[in-house]
Chain A
Amino acid sequence: MSRKPREVIVFLLDVGKNMQQLCNNAGETFFQSSKECLSQIIQRKIFSVSRDELGFIIFGSEKTENPLASKDEYRNITVVTENLQLANWDLMKYIHELDCSEFYADWLDAIVVAMDFMKVKTAGFHSIFHFKIVMFSNFACPVFDSQVDVIIEGLKSSNISFVVIGPDILTLECPPGTIKSEDQQAGENLVSKIVRRADGVICSFEEAFPELMYFQRKNVKPTPWNALFTISEKIKIPIQMFKKVTEPPYRKWCSKVIDDEDAAVIKEKAYVRFDQERETMVEVSKYDVISAYQFGSTVVPYSNIDKESMRYSTGAKGLFFIGCTRRHKIPLHLLIGKGSYVVLTRPDDNVAKEVLEAFVQALFERNCVGVARRIYSNNSTTTMGALFPVVTEESRYLVYAQLPFAEDEHLYKFPSLADMKPTDEQNEAVDDLIDSMDLDASDTEPEKYDITKIYDHNEQYVFRCLGYKALCPDAVLPDELAEKGLNLLKADPIMLEVCQSQLERIKNIFPLEEVPEKPKRKAFRKRGFDENDDDVPVSTSLFKTSIATSSVDSSQDLISSLRQNIPVDEIQKIESDINYIVGGSSVDPSKILTILRDLCRICSNIPNVYNQWVKNLKDHFHQSNNSQIWEKIVEENLNSIDEHKAPEIPNNEDDDADSQYGTQTSGCIDDLVGTEIM
C-alpha cells in the first residue's frame, strides 16, 4: 500500500535582528510566529511518529558554527544538529528556548549551508528519500545576490523542494499599516524568484497555521482482511476488506513509582470475596475459582471448556451473500458496530475486480443494498452487514457496515407529534433559518464544517497537554490549553451574526418557557381531600415500607429515625400517603394510624395536624360508605391527640406509649364523631 515517502528536511530559521519586525496586528514578531510554526511542525512529527530525518540550522546567530565558514564568509550561521535526526523533544526544547539575536546574516549563504549539510549528511542515502529545505525569514536584510543562479541550479539538480514560510508577498505592508523597507522588498522579490524557478512553495503564516493546527497520530498502514465472497455455488470472488472509519485506540499509559527511579510497578491480580463473619474482603485462591453464568438470578457453573465445546459453530471464514434489498430498507440509523469498511479486490486479480465492479454497478442501478453474513475467522462469531454500492467518477467499490440482529433492536412507543400544528408564519420562520444557516458548498462559498478537516478536539487537547508537559515538566497545566478547543465547538459566530434576524424571529413567535427545576419525581402521590401538592420527603419511603409490611418493627425504626428531626410539614405529607393506604386496603388501618399518631406526638408541637387530618378522614369515610373502618378507629382510640398530652415524648417502648396516651385521648372522640356517624 502506498505510504507517504520519507523525507530529509533541513529547517532554516532566521534569528537575526530583522526578525523582531512585527508581522501582524496581534503584536507578534516574525520571530515569534516562525518559532511557533516550527515548534508545531516538530511536535506534529513527534506525535505522528514520523520517520523523517531532520536537520536544523539557524542564521543571524551570534556564533558562527558551520563547516563552510571562513573569516569573512558564511558568518553568523550555526548548524544546530550535528547529524540528521528524527523529531525529538531535545530539538523542541532548543527551539523553545531560542531568542532573537542582535546580528544579521546573509540568508542566501544560509541556503548554501543547508544544501551543503544535506548533501554531506545524505551521502549514500536510499533514493526513496525526498529532500526538502524549509526556511523561515522575513528577508529584511541585505544580501549578496551573485550566487542566486548557482543556488537555483543546485536546488534543481539535487531535487530539493524549497519551502518558504512567513512573508506575505501579496502585500507591500508589513506589519499592516507600515510599508516594507526596500531591503525587505528586494529580499522578497529575490526569494520569490528562487521559489518560482526551483518549483518551490512560499506561504504566509496565515496560510501555514491552519494546515499545522492539528496534531496527528501515527499513520496506520491499512491491512486487508482477505476472504472469499460467496454469492452462489459457482459465483465466488476473492475480496479484500479495509477499515475505513474507526476510532483510534486509547493511548497506552505506563506507570512508574514516584521518586524511585529503579523500582517498577508490578501488578498482581487476585480474587477476593466478602467475608460476612469477619466483615472484610478475603482472598480466594485461584484454584478455588470456577466460572459461571447467570440465568436470571440462578448461577450456572460453566467452564471455559464447556463454553468452547458447546458454542455455536459458525463454519469457515468468509463473506456470504444473503440477498439484496431496497436501499430504503436499510436507513443509516440502523447501522451498528465499530465503523465502516471498504470492500475491494486484490490488486493482482483483474477477474475478481471486474466481477466486483459489475456487482457494485448492478446494485447501484437497481437502487439496492446487499446483505451479507461475515465470519471474521474460522468459527468466530457471526456478524451481519450491509453492502452499499459506491460509484464515483474514479472508482467502484462496496462499503460494508454492520447491521443489527433482532436482539439488538429496542424500539419504544412514543406519543405522536401529528397534533403539533405550527402556523404558516412559524413554518416560514424555520424555513428562513434553515436557509440562512446553510453549510453546504455553494457557487460562492466552500462547504463549512467539512468533516475531513475537523480533528478530535479532546485528542488535540491531550496532544497540547503532552507538548506542554514535555517542555515544562514541573508546570501546572494551564487552562488555555482546553479553552483553545472549546471555541471551536460553538456555531460560527460570523454566521450567527448574519442570521440574527431569523433567530430573533424564531424567538418571538415560538413560545418557549423554561420550567423551574422540579425536585425529584414523586414516589407516592396522594389523592382526595388534601390539596397540598408538594414533593415527597425521603422519610416517606421508610414510612411506606413500614406500612406496607405493617410490621411494628419497622415502624419502630421509623419512629426512632423520625425522632431526630422532622419538620412538621413532612408529617403533613406523610399523612396524605396514609389516605391512600387507608382508603379501603386490606392492611389493618389501625396499625397505620398508630404509627402516624405516634409520629405526630413525637414531632408535633401542634397536635392539630393529626387532629385535622382525622377529621378529614372521617368526612372521607362518611362519603365513601366506609364507616366500618372509622368505627374501628374509634374503637382503638386512634382519633385526635389530646392537646395537653401532646408535647410529651414517649420512650422507646411502644407499650408504654400506648397505655399512656391510648386511653387518655378517648375523650375527644365524641367531639369529632358525634352524631355525624350514620
Chain B
Amino acid sequence: MDDGLNFDVEETEQQSNEIWNTREITVFLLDSTSKMFEKRSDDTIFFQLCLRCCKSVFMNKIIGSSSDLLSIVFFGTKEHDPGDQNPKNIVTFFEPQQPNASVIKDLNKMINSDTCDDFSTKYGHSDDYSLADLFWHVSSLISKSPVKVAVRKIILFTCNDNPLHNDTMKSYQARKKAEDIHNLQIELDVIPLGEHFNGDLFFNEIMQIVNGPNSTVPKGTSKIEELLEQTFRRDSKKRSIANLTLNIGNDIRINVNMFNFYRPLRIPSIMKLDNKMNEQVKNTAQTYNSETGERLLKTDVIKYYETGDKQIMFTVQELERFHMNVAKGIELLGFKSLSELSPENYFKPSSFIFPSEDKIKGSSLLFTTLLRRCLEKQKFMLCYIVSRVKSKPWLAALVPQEEENNMPAGFHILYLPYADYIREIPYPPQSELTPEKVDLFKKILKKISFQYSPSVFENPDIQKHWANIEALALNYTEPRSITDETLRDYSQISERLGGLEDEFVDTFFPTTYNPEFEFEKKRTFSDYSASNKWKLAKFDPEDPDYVEKVARGGQADKLTVPILKEYLLKHNINVKGKKQDLLDRLFESLGIKSS
C-alpha cells in the first residue's frame, strides 16, 4: 500500500496543513440533590435515568467518534473534589477524557443498584450548591482540556426548575457566569426532568444568555425514550469539513461551509500491542537494496510505471507534482434540470453546503435566493469543486434542499462521475409485457411496502462487533444480543401475499422452471464454447494420462486450472501462480517445448 503513490488520499490531505479539528468535548452536569434520588411512582429514579442517558452517549462515542472527550460532574452533593480551593458541593465524577471501560462499569453499577451504588454515603446531598460555581467549574474543566477541541458542550440534567429560589444575588452571579460560558463559545443544553418543569422560572433565561435569543428548555419528561432522544438531538453539533468560496462569475463570490451528512461508519482497524510491555506498536516498512543490503532513503529510489513495454521513470519529487494544483473552491458552470440527475450516475457519497457570513457578508442572502429560485425552476447548479488543496477537481451537481423535518435548507453536493468512470453495459432489449403481469407485480409490491428511513436500520455487523468488544471490556459473561432489522422472514411475507404468490408462480414460471436450480446450475466453459467441447472430446477425462495426452495433443491451454493443479500436485510440482505458469511447468515436466 505504502509503495504505490496514491493520489487524493488521506496521506496527501494531511500534508496540506488543512486538518480540520472536529473533536468535541461534552460535559454532563447531573443534579444530585436528594430530590433526584426519590423513587417515583413508576419505580424509576430520575438520577438513574440521567445516568442511562449519559451511558448511551458514552457508548455512542466509543463506537462513533472515540477521540471526543466526555466528562461527568455531579452537583448538589455534600462532598466536593479534594483540595480546599475546589468549589463546594460539586464532584467531578469523570474528568474530561476519552471514555473507557471502567467508567462504563461504574455507570452500570449505579444504574443497576437501588441506592445508585451507595451514592448518598459516598457523595451525600445538599441543596446548598452555587450555580455560579458550577458554571465556573465546568468552564475551567473545558479550558483545561488536554487536547484542542472544536466544539464544547454542556448538558445539564435537573428536576429543579427554580434552583435559586429567586435569590437576586445568586441569580445575578449565575447569569454572569452564563455570560462567560457564552463568551467561551460553549453551548449549554438543559434537559429537564418531570412533566411539570417550568423553564420560564429560571433556565430559559440562562439558555438565552448562553445560546442566543431563540433557545429554550424543552418540555420536561420522565420517560427514558424521550430523554434519550433529547440528549441525542443535542449531541451533534455542526462539524464543517471545509470552508469554500462559491464563484458565480464576474467576481461574485459567496462563502459556504461544507458538511458530510452521510459517511459510512466502519469498524476501527485492529490495533497492535506489544504483549510484554502492553504498549501499542507501530507498523513500519523499511526498504533495502537487494544487492548490497543497504537501507534505502526515499531519494535513493526511483518510481516507474510500465506501459507500452517501457518503464517510464519519475523521481519521487516529480511524482509529488502529479496534482494539477487547482485552487480550492467551487466554480459555477451553469444550471441544468433536476430531471437530468439519475441514480445510475451515483458514484461517491454526497456533501452539503450552508452559507457562512464569516468571510463574505451577504453570502446568506444570495445563497438563499439561488436556492429558492433553483427549487422554483427545478434546476441544479453544475460546478467543479475542489474541497482541499491538492485534491482532485470533481464535477458536481448542487441540488437545492428545502427546509424539512430534520433536513436544513441548503445545497446537497452530488458528485458526478467522469466519463472514464462509467462502464458500458450491454442492456438487453425490452421484452413484451402484458399489463396483467405488471398489475400482478404491483399488487405484490403493495403488500410489501414500507416507509423507509435510514434511522430504522442499524448496521448488524458493527453492532455485533461492538457488543463483543463491550462484553470483553466490561467482563460480561456473554455479549448482548443484537437485532438485525435488515432480515426479513420470508415465510411471513408469503403469508401476507396469500394467493398472490401462487398466482405469480403460475403466471411467470413454466412448470419446469425452478429459480434456485437455475441459479445453482453451473455454467462450465464448454457451455459457452461448443467448439472447444468438440476439440477436447477426443480425449477421455477418465483416462489417467488425460492431461498428458491433451498436452501432447497441443490442447493444453484448454485444460482448466483445477485439472492442471491436480495433475501438478500429483507430480509434486509447485502449483502457485497463473495459468500460464502452471502450463509452463506442465510442459517442462513432460519435456514439451512450449510455444
Complex formed: what's the CA distance from A633 to B62 in Å? 46
User: Do A453 and B419 touch (CB < 8 A)?
Assistant: yes
A217-238 residues with Cβ-Cβ distance < 8 A to B are 217, 220, 222, 226-228, 230-238
B282-341 residues with Cβ-Cβ distance < 8 A to A are 282-292, 296, 299-314, 318-319, 321-326, 331-337, 340-341
B180 CB, min distance to chain A CBs, angstroms: 6
User: Do B420 and A232 touch (CB < 8 A)?
Assistant: no
User: Do A457 and B236 touch (CB < 8 A)?
Assistant: no
Q: Which residue of B lies closest to A340 (CB)?
A: B346
Q: Does B423 contact A (CB under 8 A)?
A: yes
Assuming A273-B279, A515-B361, A586-B133, is B272 touching A291 (CB within 8 A)?
yes
Q: Which residues of B contact A462 (CB under 8 A)?
A: 322
User: Do B459 and A89 touch (CB < 8 A)?
Assistant: no
Q: Does A496 contact B (CB under 8 A)?
A: yes
A485 CB, min distance to chain B CBs, angstroms: 6
Contact of B236 among A87, A347, A411, A506 (CB under 8 A): A411
User: Do A334 and B3 touch (CB < 8 A)?
Assistant: no
A91 CB, min distance to chain B CBs, angstroms: 9
Contact of B442 among A227, A290, A366, A455 (CB under 8 A): A366
Contact string, A449-472, partner B, CB cutoff 8 A, digits 1/0?
101111111110110011001100
Interface-facing stretch out of A59-67, A154-162, A264-272: A264-272
Q: Does A150 contact B (CB under 8 A)?
A: no
Q: Which residues of B contact A251 (CB under 8 A)?
A: 4, 305
Complex formed: what's the CA distance from A448 to B510 in Å? 49
Assuming A324-B449, A325-B451, is B304 touching A254 (CB within 8 A)?
yes
Complex formed: what's the CA distance from A568 to B417 in Å? 56
User: Do A260 and B291 touch (CB < 8 A)?
Assistant: yes
Complex formed: what's the CA distance from A469 to B319 in Å? 12
Q: Does B251 contact A (CB under 8 A)?
A: yes
Q: Does B426 contact A (CB under 8 A)?
A: yes
Q: Which residues of A contact B457 (CB under 8 A)?
A: 384, 403, 405-406
Q: Does A247 contact B (CB under 8 A)?
A: yes
User: Do B428 and A300 touch (CB < 8 A)?
Assistant: no
Assuming A311-B464, A434-B335, A454-B419, is B144 touching A549 (CB within 8 A)?
yes
User: Do B343 and A386 touch (CB < 8 A)?
Assistant: yes
Complex formed: what's the CA distance from A405 to B324 in Å? 36
Q: Does B265 contact A (CB under 8 A)?
A: yes
Complex formed: what's the CA distance from A667 to B407 in Å? 66
Complex formed: what's the CA distance from A232 to B431 in Å? 23
Assuming A254-B306, A336-B349, A422-B369, is B515 touching A237 (CB within 8 A)?
yes
Q: Which residues of B contact A358 (CB under 8 A)?
A: 433, 437-438, 440-441, 508
Which of B185, B254, B273, B354 counts the most A-chain CB atoms under 10 A from its CB? B273
User: Do A291 and B271 touch (CB < 8 A)?
Assistant: yes
User: Do B420 and A408 touch (CB < 8 A)?
Assistant: no
A38 CB, min distance to chain B CBs, angstroms: 15
User: Do B66 and A294 touch (CB < 8 A)?
Assistant: yes
User: Do A456 and B420 touch (CB < 8 A)?
Assistant: yes
Q: Which residues of A contact B62 (CB under 8 A)?
A: 295-296
Query: What's the dominant secondary structure at chain A's contact region?
Result: mixed
User: Do A253 and B438 touch (CB < 8 A)?
Assistant: no
User: Do A585 and B308 touch (CB < 8 A)?
Assistant: no
Q: Does A131 contact B (CB under 8 A)?
A: no
Contact of A359 among B279, B296, B369, B441 (CB under 8 A): B441
Q: Which residues of B contact A645 (CB under 8 A)?
A: none
Q: Does A529 contact B (CB under 8 A)?
A: no
Q: Which residues of A contact B286 (CB under 8 A)?
A: 267-270
User: Do B444 and A409 touch (CB < 8 A)?
Assistant: no
Q: Which residue of A lies closest to B357 (CB)?
A: A515
B167-198 residues with Cβ-Cβ distance < 8 A to A are 169, 173, 176-177, 179-180, 183-185
Complex formed: what's the CA distance from A267 to B446 in Å? 59
Q: Which residues of A contact B283 (CB under 8 A)?
A: 269-271
What number of B residues sit within 8 Å (CB to CB) of A?
236
Contact of A333 among B99, B414, B470 (CB under 8 A): B414
Assuming A250-B4, A297-B99, A353-B431, is B343 touching A449 (CB within 8 A)?
no
User: Do B248 and A503 touch (CB < 8 A)?
Assistant: yes
User: Do A292 and B307 touch (CB < 8 A)?
Assistant: no
Q: Which residues of A contact B56 (CB under 8 A)?
A: none
Interface-facing stretch out of B154-162, B479-487, B559-567, B574-582: B479-487
Q: Does B573 contact A (CB under 8 A)?
A: no
User: Do B344 and A216 touch (CB < 8 A)?
Assistant: no
Contact string, B352-372, partner A, CB cutoff 8 A, digits 1/0?
101101111111111111111
Assuming A301-B273, A322-B488, A362-B442, is B416 touching A451 (CB within 8 A)?
yes
Contact of A461 among B254, B322, B414, B486 (CB under 8 A): B322
Q: Does A96 contact B (CB under 8 A)?
A: no
User: Do B486 and A384 touch (CB < 8 A)?
Assistant: yes
B242-277 residues with Cβ-Cβ distance < 8 A to A are 248-254, 259-265, 268, 270-277
A537 CB, min distance to chain B CBs, angstroms: 16
Q: Which residues of A contact B530 (CB under 8 A)?
A: none
Complex formed: what's the CA distance from A485 to B97 in Å? 48
Which of B180, B304, B337, B355 counts the most A-chain CB atoms under 10 A from its CB? B180
User: Do A485 and B324 touch (CB < 8 A)?
Assistant: yes
Complex formed: what's the CA distance from A473 to B312 in Å? 8
Q: Which residues of A contact B429 (CB under 8 A)?
A: 394-395
Q: Does A489 contact B (CB under 8 A)?
A: yes
User: Do B136 and A586 touch (CB < 8 A)?
Assistant: yes
User: Do B505 and A234 touch (CB < 8 A)?
Assistant: yes
User: Do B484 and A458 touch (CB < 8 A)?
Assistant: no
Assuming A358-B437, A359-B441, is B368 touching A417 (CB within 8 A)?
yes
User: Do A352 and B303 touch (CB < 8 A)?
Assistant: no
Contact string, A33-47, partner B, CB cutoff 8 A, digits 1/0?
000000000000011
Interface-facing stretch out of A169-177, A437-445, A653-661: A437-445
B81 CB, min distance to chain A CBs, angstroms: 10
Interface-facing stretch out of A7-15, A192-200, A424-432: A424-432
10 residue pairs A–B, Cβ–Cβ below 8 Å? A222-B425, A226-B519, A242-B423, A254-B303, A271-B281, A296-B58, A371-B452, A410-B236, A451-B345, A512-B362
A-B pairs, 10 with minimum CB distance: A312-B464, A414-B408, A362-B441, A46-B308, A298-B101, A296-B99, A325-B452, A420-B368, A405-B459, A333-B412
